[in-house]
């Protein structure tokens, strides 16, 4: 039984429309949990709950589990109602202690040219930023970095090979259109290194640290290759997301369409570095995700693609434990996270909120579950697990 089915079943139980079979199913769900695990059930699905759903009142039954099931269900329903209310009215009352408000991240990055010159893109005016070996680099009105190659350099491979690096700090994100017309969305605290022209190259090779979403232009003659933390991804033209942050448990590559070849590497590659021993290569299909940790590859199927690319579309979609969530929060709001006590790995949250919200609004949602408390001082967030 998935989460949406569970919530629908709880709603039916709350208004007395459960069949006997559904009641047995709910009891079976409850039996999977130890009683001392109940406080950790802090998941929410605010998009699926209507505010007319009442708190559950336990039916008088001889089965001693029913009052306990009702208590657990009441917790979940109450949390769901609150999150729906938050989404509807758009305001939060919170007990978070904070001395200053922290705004969300913004569109911004630093472009480092081959000659070492740094251009702060958030401050740069729209128009032509630089020219390198027949390549014109432009900042568009919508904040995209665009590479345009002249016909002579595209057809003849003219010009010296130059490498650029696009870097986002914490609290920044940016989008770049590469000289082959591939588009890359770069998440916060990430960097993409790439040649200013692919014209003279057999393969279109780039290097990523952090997270990026790739929309690769099709070119059957020249594969597009991404080197990232401990892996190599090879495609001809497709859409995929790579999450290779150093503070994440594994490197995750998720495919949205087409197919890609993922090779785990025993060492981290650098751009065009050769001779590194390869560990294992797999081909993944749409809806699948490869996870690489210590050279070992694990494949997950039926991944929720909306969750994976939500950051690109301006949302947080949380479906994970507290530490993983706070890693995302730290990168986007440029804050440091400290734990007063170690969170239980089972302490998980699930929900969706716009990345344009302030930090206090995001933390307020989580704090209202009663599972955690936050204290914000400057850019330091201290978390207490209840």
pLDDT score, position 59: 32
What is the average pLDDT across 203-210? 96
Q: Do 135 and 164 meet the contact criterion of CB atoms below 8 Å apart?
A: no
- Res. 273: pLDDT tops 90: no
Any idea what DSSP says for residue 312?
G
Q: Do 159 and 153 meet the contact criterion of CB atoms below 8 Å apart?
A: yes
More confident residue, 236 or 103: 103
Query: What span, in angstroms and rounded, lies between the C-alpha atoms of 329 and 372?
Result: 15
Query: What span, in angstroms and rounded, lies between the C-alpha atoms of 134 and 136?
Result: 7
pLDDT score, position 77: 44
pLDDT score, position 3: 57
pLDDT score, position 2: 58
Question: Average per-residue pLDDT in the chain?
Answer: 78
Residue written as token pair 């998935």: 2
For the packed helices 3-14 and 65-89, what is the interaxial angle rounded to 10 degrees? Answer: 110
Query: What span, in angstroms and rounded, lies between the C-alpha atoms of 189 and 174?
Result: 11
pLDDT score, position 131: 85
What is the average pLDDT across 353-381? 90
The domains of the chain, with CATH numbers, are 3-89 (no CATH), 106-306 (2.60.120.1440), 321-385 (3.55.50.30)
At 343, the pLDDT band (50, 70, 90 cuts) reads confident
Taking CA 113 as the corner, what is the angle to CA 186 and CA 142, rounded to the nearest 5 degrees?
Answer: 45
Residues 156-167: tens digit of each pLDDT: 444 568 899 999
More confident residue, 354 or 369: 354
- Res. 181: pLDDT tops 90: yes
Nearest to 242 by CA among 279, 271, 274, 216: 216
More confident residue, 118 or 13: 118
pLDDT score, position 280: 86
pLDDT score, position 18: 75
pLDDT score, position 212: 98
How many percent of the chain have pLDDT more than 90?
47
At 66, the pLDDT band (50, 70, 90 cuts) reads low
3-state secondary structure of 20: helix
Here the tokens at position 206 are 């780039």
The HSE-up count of residue 74 (CA atoms within 13 Å, CB side) is: 11
- Res. 356: pLDDT tops 50: yes
Here the tokens at position 367 are 């704090």
């Amino acid at each position: 039984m998935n989460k949406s089915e569970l919530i629908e079943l709880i709603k039916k139980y709350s208004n007395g429309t459960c069949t006997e079979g559904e009641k047995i199913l709910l009891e079976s769900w409850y039996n999977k949990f130890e009683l001392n695990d109940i406080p950790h059930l802090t998941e929410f699905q605010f998009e699926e709950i209507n505010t007319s759903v009442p708190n559950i009142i336990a039916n008088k039954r001889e089965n001693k589990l029913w009052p306990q099931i009702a208590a657990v269900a009441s917790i979940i329903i109450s949390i769901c109602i609150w999150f729906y209310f938050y989404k509807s009215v758009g305001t939060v009352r919170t007990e978070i202690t904070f001395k200053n408000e922290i705004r969300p991240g913004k569109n911004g990055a630093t472009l480092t040219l081959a000659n070492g010159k740094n251009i702060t893109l958030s401050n740069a005016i729209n128009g032509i930023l630089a020219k390198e070996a027949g390549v014109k680099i432009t900042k568009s009105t919508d904040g995209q970095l665009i590479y345009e190659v002249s016909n002579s350099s595209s057809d003849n491979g003219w010009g010296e090979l130059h490498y650029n690096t696009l870097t986002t700090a914490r609290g920044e994100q940016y989008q770049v259109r590469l000289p082959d017309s591939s588009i890359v969305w770069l998440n916060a605290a990430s960097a993409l290194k790439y040649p200013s022209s692919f014209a003279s190259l057999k393969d279109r090779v780039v290097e990523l640290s952090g997270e990026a979403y790739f929309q690769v232009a099709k070119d059957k003659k020249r594969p597009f290759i991404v080197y990232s933390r401990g892996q190599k991804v090879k495609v001809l033209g497709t859409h995929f997301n790579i999450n290779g942050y150093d503070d994440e448990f594994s490197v995750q590559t998720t495919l949205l369409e087409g197919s890609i070849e993922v090779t785990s590497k025993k060492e981290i590659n650098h751009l065009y570095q050769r001779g590194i021993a390869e560990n294992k290569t797999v081909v993944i299909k749409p809806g699948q995700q490869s996870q690489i940790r210590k050279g070992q590859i694990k494949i997950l199927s039926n991944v929720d693609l909306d969750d994976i690319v939500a950051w690109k579309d301006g949302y947080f979609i949380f479906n994970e434990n507290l530490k993983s969530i706070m890693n995302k929060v730290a990168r986007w709001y440029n804050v440091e996270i400290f734990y007063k006590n170690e969170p239980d790995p089972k302490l998980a949250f699930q929900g969706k909120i716009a990345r344009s919200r302030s930090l206090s609004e995001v933390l307020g949602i989580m704090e209202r579950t009663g599972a955690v408390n936050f204290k914000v001082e400057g850019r330091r967030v201290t978390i207490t697990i209840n």
